[in-house]
Amino acid sequence: MATVVVLAVVIVGAAYARVGWSRMETECASSPPGASDHGSVAYSWSWDPVGFRCSYEDGSTRTALWF
What 3-state DSSP class applies to 58? coil
| Backbone φ and ψ of 42, nearest 5° | -110, 135
pLDDT band at 40 (very low <50, low <70, confident <90, very high): confident
Cα–Cα distance for residue pair 1/66, rounded to 1 Å: 30
Closest C-alpha among 52, 48, 3, 55 to residue 24: 52
What is the number of other CB atoms lying within 10 angstroms of the CB of residue 24?
Answer: 23
Going by the DSSP 8-state scheme, the letter that residue 34 receives in this structure is T
**Of 31-35, 45-49, 53-57, which gets the smallest average pLDDT?**
31-35
Kindly tell me if the per-residue pLDDT of 54 is higher than 80.
yes
pLDDT number for residue 30: 80
